[in-house]
Amino acid sequence: MRNKFGLSTYRIFFLVLLATTLVAYGQKEPQYTQYMYNIGSFNPAYVGTVESPEIIGLYRAQWIDVPGAPTTIRGGVNIPFSNEKMGLGFNVVNDELGPSTQTYFDVAYSYQIQLSSDTKLSFGINAGGSSLNVDYSKGTFELGSDPSLLGGNYSNFYPTVGAGLFMYHEEDWYLGVSVPNFLTNTLYNDEVATIVEDNMQFNAIGGYVFQLGDRTKFKPAFLVNYLQGSPVTVNLSANFQFLDALTVGGSYRFDNAVSGLAGLQISNAIFVGYAYDYSTNGLGEYSGGSHEAIVKFYIGRGGFGSGNKSKKKTKDTNIKGKQIDSPRFF
């Protein structure tokens, strides 16, 4: 990196990266390419709508080859209750960027009502907390006299409270809106107010599943993020599912990245997915892209503490001699 760009160029780039990202870092919402498999991380209303209890693990390494670039690790659980109305969710996320590390957790609760024979509306709330630590001893800064870079370490903890709505047809489509955290302006401090702001973020998500054949589906989807004081982020994706198990597709984040996605339902209990992002905003020239991997474990096919849900429609398919009970495509 140093030989390719020169030390001065790297320092300028790192400062710009640090400043622009930390200004919005208070949003506590990492960027995901496989958002369609990760809805419970930013919308609490989703947690009780799943067909069976889920455990999710996700790892994202952004802008490979750029020192100090973001990395994200997320662990989540979605648990539907046997009454098919309520659900619980748990999230733990560790997000690192240069000298800063943010760890947060939340507990989500959802309650859904039946709008028609196959359409439901779910309401969700989440509560938790987040800790932010900035270690200014990491890295070399050109602006060493900046008051915000003095003092060595800074750490703070603040609570989070959010809410969301999620409306869906049991097989075909879904729409959701959420605000992961209503508690803003809690991170201001004389030492860091110049670089850290905590603003409210709004999310909107949707998708539609087209049945192209007996075992082939097509799902376009979108995710829109708006952070107060920042430009709107628009993500569009399209995925094809073959044999109710193999998924391939692509995604585009406006003025940011183009992505390729692939996933496989290995068995009734395990789904794995991978995404590669190529930056279209100029960073593509300096980095090796971004990698994101997700794994989902399905605990049975029924609600928490119950047997199978007879109302949920799943399809058996045969992949290399194995019978797979395909879960819903969202």
Distance in angstroms (rounded) separating the CA atoms of residues 28 and 72: 11
Please give the pLDDT value at position 4. 41
Q: Give yes or no for residue 174 having a pLDDT over 70.
A: yes
Q: How far apart are the first and last CA of the chain?
A: 40
> Which tokens in the block code for residue 260?
């390729």
Q: Give yes or no for residue 28 having a pLDDT over 60.
A: no
Task: Please report which helix (H) or strand (E) contains residue 12, including its range.
Answer: helix 7-23
DSSP-assigned letters across all residues of 289-320: -EEEEEEEEE--SBSBTS-B-TTS--EEEEET
Please give the pLDDT value at position 327. 66
Please give the pLDDT value at position 98. 81
Please give the pLDDT value at position 134. 82
What average pLDDT does this structure show over 302-325?
45
Please give the pLDDT value at position 312. 45
Distance in angstroms (rounded) separating the CA atoms of residues 191 and 54: 41
> Which tokens in the block code for residue 317?
């398919």
Please give the pLDDT value at position 158. 85
Distance in angstroms (rounded) separating the CA atoms of residues 164 and 177: 6
- Confidence band (pLDDT; 50, 70, 90) for 150? low
> Which tokens in the block code for residue 98?
């240069």
Question: Which of 50-54, 152-156, 190-194, 312-316 has the least mean pLDDT?
Answer: 190-194
Task: Please report which helix (H) or strand (E) contains residue 4, including its range.
Answer: helix 2-5
Please give the pLDDT value at position 23. 39
Distance in angstroms (rounded) separating the CA atoms of residues 308 and 300: 8
Please give the pLDDT value at position 31. 82
pLDDT in tens, 105-127: 999 999 999 999 999 999 999 99
- Confidence band (pLDDT; 50, 70, 90) for 143? low
Inter-CA distances, 43 with 34, 165, 166, 253, Å: 14, 7, 8, 20
Question: Which of 68-72, 109-113, 176-180, 320-324 has the least mean pLDDT?
Answer: 320-324
Q: Give yes or no for residue 26 having a pLDDT over 60.
A: no
What average pLDDT does this structure show over 276-282?
87
Please give the pLDDT value at position 325. 55
Top mean-pLDDT range of 20-34, 70-84, 123-137: 70-84
Q: Give yes or no for residue 291 having a pLDDT over 90.
A: yes
pLDDT in tens, 63-102: 887 777 889 999 999 999 999 899 999 999 999 888 888 8
What average pLDDT does this structure show over 256-263?
94
- Confidence band (pLDDT; 50, 70, 90) for 185? low
The string over 272-291, giving b where at least 16 C-beta atoms fall within 10 Å of a residue's C-beta and e elsewhere, is ebbbbbebeeebeebbebbe
Question: Which of 84-98, 129-143, 208-222, 256-270 has the least mean pLDDT?
Answer: 129-143
Residues making up the chain, counted from first to last: 330
Please give the pLDDT value at position 64. 84
Non-local CB neighbours of 260 within 8 Å, separated by 6+ positions: 249, 250, 275, 276
Query: For the chain, which domains are there?
Result: 2-326 (2.40.160.40)
Please give the pLDDT value at position 197. 54
Return the closest-CA partner of residue 46 out of 105, 142, 146, 120. Answer: 120
Q: Give yes or no for residue 133 having a pLDDT over 70.
A: yes
Please give the pLDDT value at position 148. 52
| 3-state secondary structure (DSSP) of residue 150 | coil
